[in-house]
Every structure is written in C-alpha cells, then in structure tokens.
Structure 1
C-alpha cells in the first residue's frame, strides 16, 4: 500500500470515528485523543491528514448535509412523480413538504443536526463546504421560482435562505429542551401553517408586482 493510500485510509477511518462520536454524544464528545485511540494511530497522525479538528468536523458535517439532501431529494422526486401543473399551490405544497422533512430530519438525527450549527470556526468555512450549502438551498429556490418568477437569481437565493431561517427557528425552539418541547404533530402543524402563510404571501406579492409593472 502506498503512502497516499495509507493517508486516505487513515482519513476515512478518522471521519468514521468522528461521525460515530458525534452521533453518539454530540459535538462535545469529539476528542482528538479518543479518536486516535479508536483508529489506532498516534495523536499527531491526525494532523497529517487534517490541518485541525475544524476540518475533520466539516468532513463529518458534509456527510450530514448529503444525508439530508437524500431525504429532501426523495420528497421532491415524489412531488414530481405526482404530476400536475407546477402552479402556486403546488409550489407552496412543495415548500411545506421540504420544511416538514427538515423537522423530521432534526428529530431523527438530533446530534448530527445540532453539530451543523454548534460548530463555530474562527474563519469562514472553505469554498467546497459553502458550495454544498448553496446546492442545498437550490431545492428551496425551485418552488420559489414558481411563486416569484419576477425575482432575479440572487434575490431568490436570499429569499430561500430567509425561508430556511424561519423554518429553522421554529424547529430549534420547538425542540429546545430548556423551553417547552413541542410534540411532533404540534410542531409540524406550526411549520405547515407558517410556511403556507409565507408562500401565499409571496404569491400575492408577485401578483401585485405584476399589476404594477407596465
């Protein structure tokens, strides 16, 4: 086995071990010494394949983003297979299903989900990680393009982030154990109500804009 192959093998083993630690005990359970012991390498060997623990955590979080993308892709595929014209009500329904799938993912993968937001870096995340985030937001942008066809791409991307932030806020507060944790049906009802209202508001804004445009 070549040196590069051994490096890749160690890298994959460290990501696996870090992922297992986060799934089991959250971000706080991730310790470099424990990882080295788990994969059977020297402590310093970790930093021959990762510059720091931030890079390792981002690699685990990338797996989480891919896992979430598989979940929402399934939602959008099922919607597309349902047929029908992609009108405003269908687009609103799509947004609601995406939001509910986010709630479900957070409930089913609590430690993975929290690690995405608890991880803080001194610098901006690398470009490859930011590109993955942008790609995920495009799933939200697609139905928004139906609701607000008048918006430019950059405006629609910003709107997608705003809608995600609203959904994330509802889910975060609803699942916060320090507050009053809501049952899954109640939380789902809140999400459906809020996203439907936002979607219909966007439709109304688009109609008003169309009437005002000469």
Structure 2
C-alpha cells in the first residue's frame, strides 16, 4: 500500500471512530460533518473524500457496533450450560445489557434511515442478518424437524419480542424500567416463549 493510501485509510478509520464517539455522546442528531472534520483536523469537504456520504459513515459506525454486539452475544453463549433454552435466555439478557451500556450507538442501528430511494448496501444487510445465527442455532437444536425458513421466522419473532421489550424498557420516559428488572422480565418471557413453542411443561423444559 502506498503512503498516500495508507494515510487515507488511517484518516478514514479516524473519521469513523470520531463519528462513533459523537453518536455515543449525543445520538444521531448530534452528528455533524463539520464537527467530525474538526475532530480529526481535516477540511469539512475532505470528509467526502473518505466516505461516500453520511449514510455510509453511519453504517460504518454501525458495523463497529454490530461487531461488538456479536462478541457480547458469543461470550454469553458460552457463559453457562449448553441448554438451548438457557442459551437463548443468556443471549437475550446480553442483548439487553449491551443496549443499556451502549444506548445511543444501539439506537442508531435502528433509527438511521437511508436517503429516499437509496437501498441499504448488501454488506450492511449481511452483517445485520449474520447476528441471527445466535438465535437460529439453539432454535435448530430445539426444533430439528423445522425447515430453515421456519426457523428463520421463529428467530425473527423471538428477536422482535426481546427487542421490543428492550426498546420500551430503556425508553427514558414514564415507561422506563430499571435494567435489573428488565433483565429478569426478558429472561422470564424468553423461557415462557420457548416453553410454549416446545409444548413442554416448565419442569421438563428446565432439564433441556
């Protein structure tokens, strides 16, 4: 790599890191290219020599966030007995914890909207969908008779339930729920959903 390309790559990474800090501190609404340019000591217009537009910049920050979320869910998978039921509980609670600890960056994953008529790039969609493997794998163990498509629907449904609880529970208004209480509620809901899906009594499913 030439020195010019190496310098550009370093500046690009610095820009993404600066945007990550800005979003973490003030959410997407606080993200301004002039502030980012000042943060990394470049001209305002030079930002667009490093990324195509603000959409790409936000997606690159999201890529960093998803990588850290992936690591957190992977750690949760191995942090307990190999029961598929309890693995689903652990990754759901880990998702809640990650959201609480990285609130603005987590919100940005879902609040960002591409410019009208501009699709989300394939690489970004792929990164998002790859995280579903954490839900898909224990479900495949629980329901070996289901097709991949059926498991995919169940995985998305389970995620939607947990995500909705986290989203509402962490809302900093009247409906906010203390994180510890939210963790307990999420664990209870995931266990109840799995027990309902498997059609087994609670005492039986706890042995899985």
TM-score normalised according to structure 2 size? 0.89
Q: State how far apart, in whole Å, the 2-side matches of 1:125 and 1:30 are.
A: 19
Superposed displacement of residue 152, structure 1:
1.2
**Pair 1:153-2:148 in alignment:** yes
- For residues 35-70 of structure 1, the C-alpha deviation after alignment (integer angstroms, 9 at most, x for no partner) is 111111111111112110010010011100011111
Q: Which residue of 2 aligns with 1:140?
A: 135
Contact 1:18 1:30 in 2 (8 A): yes
Distance 2:114 2:142 in 1: 35
Q: How does 1:53-202 map to 2 (within 5 A)?
A: 53-79=54-80, 82=81, 90-122=83-115, 123-202=118-197
Cα distance, 1:167 vs structure 2: 0.2
Counterpart of 1:39? 40
| Alignment: residue pair count | 197
Q: Deviations over 1:8-51 (max 9, x none)?
A: 12211100110111111111111011111111111111111211
Root-mean-square deviation (CA, aligned residues, Å) is: 1.5
Unaligned runs of 5+ in 1: 206-214
Distance in 2, matches of 1:179 and 1:50, equals 39
Q: Which runs of 4+ in 1 moved over 2 A?
A: none
Q: Deviations over 1:151-191 (max 9, x none)?
A: 11122122211111110001111111223211122212211
CA–CA distance in structure 2, aligned partners of residues 69 and 149 of structure 1: 24
Q: Which runs of 5+ in 2 are unaligned?
A: 201-208
